[in-house]
């Protein structure tokens, strides 16, 4: 999951965000589609992690290290959900008209 998230952020920083910063072009359709697909996969992985960790709830009697781990899982979940929401629902829609100009 870590490697996939790092690769995802690298693609955003080197490909997608420069295209959007330049105002977007019809070619932005493909990178946005890739990011949306990856967001879906990240969400599925996050659901699995949350299931395995009982929604980031440490087991009864967990030591401080375990509690810190579960707190980190909860923070990762919050941050990733926020990231996906911001891009899919706020950022990408601003550039969908340019993307639609590419192809029917």
Structure tokens at 53: 């960790």
**Inter-residue contact 49 to 41 (CB < 8 Å):** no
Tens digit of each residue's pLDDT (9 = 90 or more) over 55-85 = 999 999 999 999 999 999 999 999 999 999 9
pTM of this prediction?
0.85
How high is the pLDDT of residue 102?
57
Structural domain boundaries, residue 50: 2-100
Q: Is 104's pLDDT higher than 60?
A: no
Q: What total of structural domains would you count in the chain?
A: 1
């Amino acid at each position: 999951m870590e490697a996939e998230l790092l690769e995802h952020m690298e693609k955003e920083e080197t490909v997608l965000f420069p295209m959007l910063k330049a105002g977007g072009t019809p070619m932005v359709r493909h990178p946005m589609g890739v990011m949306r697909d990856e967001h879906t996969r990240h969400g599925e992985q996050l659901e699995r992690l949350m299931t395995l960790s009982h929604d980031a709830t440490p087991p009864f009697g967990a030591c401080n290290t375990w509690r810190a781990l579960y707190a980190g899982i909860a923070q990762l979940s919050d941050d990733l959900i926020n990231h996906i929401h911001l891009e899919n629902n706020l950022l990408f829609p601003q550039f969908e008209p340019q993307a639609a100009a590419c192809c029917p």
